[in-house]
């Protein structure tokens, strides 16, 4: 039964795939894909919004037709359109889309021209040399298909953090309600806030007498598709969505040791165990032992203390210097979500955002923000109605007016101006200088050489009004690799010019990368953790940006938007006085 946004998103993706194979209207296909992406990243569960009888057409990109389909899926578990598509196309054909290099267009051609419906048929067709003669395929593609199928040993699928969170949070709630269960926590890479998560490791504490009951309820959870193994205190299952979940039930006195053990990373744990050995201690998932006597393990802090270390936050546990820092009292005091006082990247319905200026301001206020920069796209992005000079100045007037009415939050006048391929900005100086700050971003020309891409961005940053480089690598998790760029040079230029880099908290971006955050910190360049909100819901994503910042060792002081607006103004105006 699809319950979570990601489940509904998966159904929409499959519909889009099948429609594309059928050669349906591209706009219709695009609508399903956009809705799928929006849903998979929507922080609030749609099922809850429906319970609050919210009108789903208020969600970005959702018209009455899609709203009805979401409702149908959430309530019945089925989508009649998908059921119908399954009767029109062979059931296994969507499997072909999972072969790297085969998009819907190619699958459609294979189906129509060679009647290929399954992976086996595809393999035979490739082996027999029947694919290379199809228009748009060729010998190289045929070889790639063969290799891809041969290498297709079911690679482990990883889930974006925001998607894993939907499943983890629902499961945690379910487990916490089981009688006898005291603590529930998801460990592993999820707890370390990795960008993607391969599986969930959930740890619960319960008395020995209650352990098996917890395991049995877990394996009966209504989203479980497959029970891989089940014992007295542990079980592994696969959920309907394909995510594997491992449960461990431990006694309270082992909680810290088990949590440390299952949080990882592997490299961190090996290093800690090695330290323990040198001190004549043994660490495992049950505790820290001297000979056979347990000397620690109830809390993680006790585990670290037993080997002479300060407590190391999960996001740092990658064996990348955190152990040495813990030994010498140099661990950072990592930034927290509550440290953020503003957000310097948001869109409204003037471009591709979904809400009005006022709605965005009030939503930001309700999330504890004291200021919010409105950063629409510029005219180059005509497909999202990017602003030209006239419309931007109009919006500035609206913001000035709104600021006289708003209490508790200030809107900043800004723009997400396109960095053109030659490094120029997409709007004239005469208008940029009238803004509170200028956010620059690359939205095209991702394939420039490293030298050209770096030069392009450096030139943009040398612009007198440039304030902040948005989503600095351009990557989209699992969809687009970062463009090739010399980030250290960009960071050093930012320091020289008094500019800043963004850590975009949009779950698909999480851009700047964690290692680059650390680089910026070492170079003394402040990072702005921004939502890039396109709707009032997106501010909730700031927590994922904070997670990434913590992985990058950032402290409150390393982050631009922890400043009050009074402290912020001179920082963002600095470049304007050049």
Interaction between residue 331 and Zn ion (CB under 5 A) = no
Smallest separation (angstroms) from Zn ion to the CB of 43: 17
Closest by CA to 501, choosing from 422, 433, 428, 554, is 554
Of 211, 312, 326, 441, the residue at the interface with Zn ion (CB under 5 A) is 441
- 51-59, 330-338, 380-388, 530-538 -> range binding Zn ion (CB under 5 A): 530-538
- Answer yes or no: are the C-beta atoms of 571 and 386 closer than 8 Å: no
Our CB check for Zn ion shows the closer of 432 and 441 to be 441
Interaction between residue 437 and Zn ion (CB under 5 A) = no
Smallest separation (angstroms) from Zn ion to the CB of 529: 14
Smallest separation (angstroms) from Zn ion to the CB of 247: 39
Smallest separation (angstroms) from Zn ion to the CB of 438: 13
Interaction between residue 503 and Zn ion (CB under 5 A) = no
Q: Are strands 410-413 and 500-504 parallel, antiparallel or unpaired?
A: unpaired
Our CB check for Zn ion shows the closer of 70 and 441 to be 441
- 165-173, 429-437, 528-536, 570-578 -> range binding Zn ion (CB under 5 A): 528-536
Q: Are strands 371-374 and 410-413 parallel, antiparallel or unpaired?
A: parallel
DSSP 445-510: -TTS-HHHHHHHHHHHHTSTT--EE-STT--BTTTBPPPP--HHHHHHHHHHHT-EEEEE--TTT-
Interaction between residue 417 and Zn ion (CB under 5 A) = no
Site for Zn ion in 474-493 (CB under 5 A): none
Site for Zn ion in 7-66 (CB under 5 A): none
Separation CA 354–CA 374 (nearest Å):
13
Smallest separation (angstroms) from Zn ion to the CB of 506: 8
Our CB check for Zn ion shows the closer of 312 and 536 to be 536
Separation CA 36–CA 34 (nearest Å):
5
Our CB check for Zn ion shows the closer of 441 and 512 to be 441
Smallest separation (angstroms) from Zn ion to the CB of 467: 14
C-alpha 216 chain-centroid distance: 32
Smallest separation (angstroms) from Zn ion to the CB of 375: 6
Interaction between residue 381 and Zn ion (CB under 5 A) = no
Smallest separation (angstroms) from Zn ion to the CB of 433: 21
Our CB check for Zn ion shows the closer of 289 and 506 to be 506
- 175-183, 310-318, 416-424, 564-572 -> range binding Zn ion (CB under 5 A): 416-424
Residue 421: C-alpha distances to residues 98, 105, 379, 454, 476 (Å):
34, 30, 15, 11, 20
Size of the site for Zn ion (CB under 5 A): 3
Our CB check for Zn ion shows the closer of 49 and 469 to be 469
Separation CA 176–CA 385 (nearest Å):
47
Of 502, 532, 538, 558, the residue at the interface with Zn ion (CB under 5 A) is 532
- Answer yes or no: are the C-beta atoms of 454 and 486 closer than 8 Å: yes
DSSP 131: S
Smallest separation (angstroms) from Zn ion to the CB of 532: 4
Smallest separation (angstroms) from Zn ion to the CB of 447: 17
Separation CA 56–CA 58 (nearest Å):
5
Separation CA 230–CA 213 (nearest Å):
12
Interaction between residue 508 and Zn ion (CB under 5 A) = no
Our CB check for Zn ion shows the closer of 204 and 501 to be 501
Smallest separation (angstroms) from Zn ion to the CB of 371: 17
- 108-116, 192-200, 252-260, 409-417 -> range binding Zn ion (CB under 5 A): 409-417
Interaction between residue 376 and Zn ion (CB under 5 A) = no
Find residue 289's DSSP bridge partners: 282, 294
Q: Classify 548 in phi/psi space as left (phi over 0), alpha (psi -120 to 50) or beta.
A: alpha
Interaction between residue 538 and Zn ion (CB under 5 A) = no
Residue 45: C-alpha distances to residues 7, 8, 39, 51, 211 (Å):
11, 10, 9, 10, 30
Interaction between residue 439 and Zn ion (CB under 5 A) = no
- 160-168, 186-194, 302-310, 529-537 -> range binding Zn ion (CB under 5 A): 529-537
Beta strands in 106-251 (DSSP E): 159-160, 181-186, 196-197, 199-206, 224-230, 234-239, 244-250
Burial class (CB in 10 A: 0-12, 13-18, 19+), 264: buried
Our CB check for Zn ion shows the closer of 465 and 521 to be 465
> Do you know the residue count of the chain?
578
Catalog residues that contact Zn ion under the rule CB under 5 A.
416, 441, 532
């Amino acid at each position: 039964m699809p319950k979570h946004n990601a489940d509904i998103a998966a159904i929409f993706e499959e519909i889009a795939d099948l429609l594309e194979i059928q050669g349906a209207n591209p706009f219709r296909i695009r609508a399903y894909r956009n809705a799928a992406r929006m849903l998979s990243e929507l922080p609030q569960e749609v099922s809850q919004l429906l319970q609050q009888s919210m009108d789903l057409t208020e969600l970005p990109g959702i018209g009455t037709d899609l709203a009805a389909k979401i409702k149908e899926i959430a309530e019945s578990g089925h989508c009649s359109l998908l059921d119908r598509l399954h009767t029109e196309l062979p059931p296994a054909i969507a499997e072909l889309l999972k072969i790297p290099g085969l998009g819907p267009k190619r699958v459609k051609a294979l189906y129509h021209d060679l009647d290929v419906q399954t992976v086996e048929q595809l393999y035979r067709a490739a082996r027999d040399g029947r694919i290379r003669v199809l228009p748009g395929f060729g010998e190289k593609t045929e070889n790639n298909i063969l290799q891809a199928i041969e290498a297709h040993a079911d690679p482990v699928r990883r889930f974006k953090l925001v998607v894993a969170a939907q499943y983890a949070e629902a499961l945690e709630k379910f487990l916490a309600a089981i009688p006898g269960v005291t603590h529930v926590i998801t460990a592993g890479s999820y707890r370390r806030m990795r960008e993607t998560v391969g599986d969930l490791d959930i740890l619960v504490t319960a008395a020995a007498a209650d352990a098996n009951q917890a395991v049995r309820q877990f394996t009966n959870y209504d989203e479980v598709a497959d029970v891989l193994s089940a014992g007295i205190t542990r079980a592994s299952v696969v959920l309907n969505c394909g995510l594997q979940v491992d449960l461990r039930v431990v006694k309270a006195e082992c909680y810290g040791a088990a949590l440390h053990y299952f949080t990882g990373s592997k490299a961190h744990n090996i290093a800690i165990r090695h330290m323990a050995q040198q001190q004549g201690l043994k660490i495992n998932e049950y505790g820290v032992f001297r000979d056979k006597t347990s000397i620690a393990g109830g809390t993680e802090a006790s585990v670290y203390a037993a080997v002479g270390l300060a407590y190391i936050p999960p996001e740092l546990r990658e064996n990348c210097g955190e152990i040495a820092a813990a030994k010498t009292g140099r661990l950072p005091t990592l930034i927290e979500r509550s440290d953020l006082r503003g957000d310097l990247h948001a869109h409204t319905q003037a471009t591709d955002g979904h809400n009005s200026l006022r709605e965005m301001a009030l939503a930001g206020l309700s999330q504890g923000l004291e200021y919010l920069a409105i950063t629409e796209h510029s005219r180059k992005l005509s497909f999202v109605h990017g602003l030209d000079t006239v419309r931007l100045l109009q919006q500035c007037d609206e913001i000035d007016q709104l600021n006289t009415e708003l209490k508790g939050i200030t809107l900043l006048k800004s723009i997400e101006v396109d960095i053109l391929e030659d490094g120029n900005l997409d709007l004239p100086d005469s208008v940029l200088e009238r803004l509170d700050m200028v956010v620059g971003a690359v939205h095209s020309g991702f394939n420039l050489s490293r030298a050209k891409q770096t030069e392009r961005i450096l030139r943009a940053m040398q612009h007198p009004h440039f304030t902040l480089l948005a989503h600095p690598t351009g990557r989209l998790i699992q969809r687009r690799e970062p463009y090739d760029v010399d980030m250290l040079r960009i960071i050093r230029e930012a320091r020289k010019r008094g500019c800043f880099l963004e850590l975009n908290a949009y779950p698909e971006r999480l851009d700047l990368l964690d290692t680059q955050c650390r680089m910026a910190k070492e170079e003394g360049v402040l990072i702005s953790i921004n939502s890039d909100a396109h709707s009032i819901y997106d501010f909730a994503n700031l927590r994922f940006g904070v997670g990434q910042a913590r992985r990058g060792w950032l402290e409150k002081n390393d982050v631009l938007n922890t400043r009050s607006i009074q402290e912020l103004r001179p920082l963002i105006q600095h470049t304007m006085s050049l």
